[in-house]
Amino acid sequence: MLFTARMKGVLVFVCEIDGGKRRISLPQSWTDRGPEALPGRFAVDGLTAARQLVDAMAARLRGDFGDAE
């Protein structure tokens, strides 16, 4: 996570993806961080899986079908 911000009155966590080339913002309610987490939120494992999915999609869009790591 790089930093937190408020968007439309909601706290979001801003993270870097794709080696720092892109950023993604996740509302606090989507995570297990904060006082009132909602059901279905992303915990650390869910965030890791989401990151892997985004990285795989980005690689496919670049035409990089080899091993990403």
- Tens of pLDDT, residue by residue over 9-68, are 889 988 887 777 788 888 888 887 776 656 777 777 878 888 888 888 888 888 876 554
pLDDT at position 22: 83
Alpha-carbon distance 55 to 68, whole Å?
8
pLDDT at position 35: 66
Q: Would you kindly state where each structural domain of the chain is located, as residue ranges? A: 3-62
pLDDT band at 1 (very low <50, low <70, confident <90, very high): low
Counting Cα atoms < 13 Å in the Cβ hemisphere of 29 gives 6
pTM for the model: 0.46
Alpha-carbon distance 16 to 35, whole Å?
24
